[in-house]
Amino acid sequence: DTPTCPTLISPSNFQIWKLWIMAKLRREKVLGVALGTDTCLVTSLSIPATAEEAQKWMEWNERAHGIIQDSISDALLLKTEMHTTTKDLFDALLSIYQAPSLASAFYIFQQLFNSAWSG
């Protein structure tokens, strides 16, 4: 039995989600696909991939992509549907939540403001 990864729904749970999803991808041996360290050799001009290697990478990519998609909200799923590789999807989620952006700063401020007035 492995613990369930939380669903990424907002900036407020991004850091814990990131730790959980990276652990899950590592357990499934596909973290390198999300981080871009395990790349498809088909795109490399110096080392042509065999059909078997390309197929293996495509299976890893599909598995990792599905794991991430299963752990994000429906709204995020719709927002990121155009990202077909795991690395692109993971990078898109990082760009939305990782860097302190004006949107996430506003969201955090709003949450703090709401909690201050409710109690």
Structure confidence at residue 5 (pLDDT): 86
Q: Mind giving me the DSSP string for 36-56?
A: TSS--GGG-SSSPPPHHHHHH
pLDDT for 26 equals: 95
pLDDT at 12: 87
> What is d(CA 38, CA 49) in angstroms, rounded to the nearest whole number?
13
The position carrying tokens 């390309």 is: 54
Domain residue limits, the chain: 11-118
For 18-47, what is each residue's pLDDT tens digit?
999 999 999 999 999 999 888 775 555 545
Average pLDDT, the chain: 83
Residue 104 has pLDDT above 90, yes or no: no
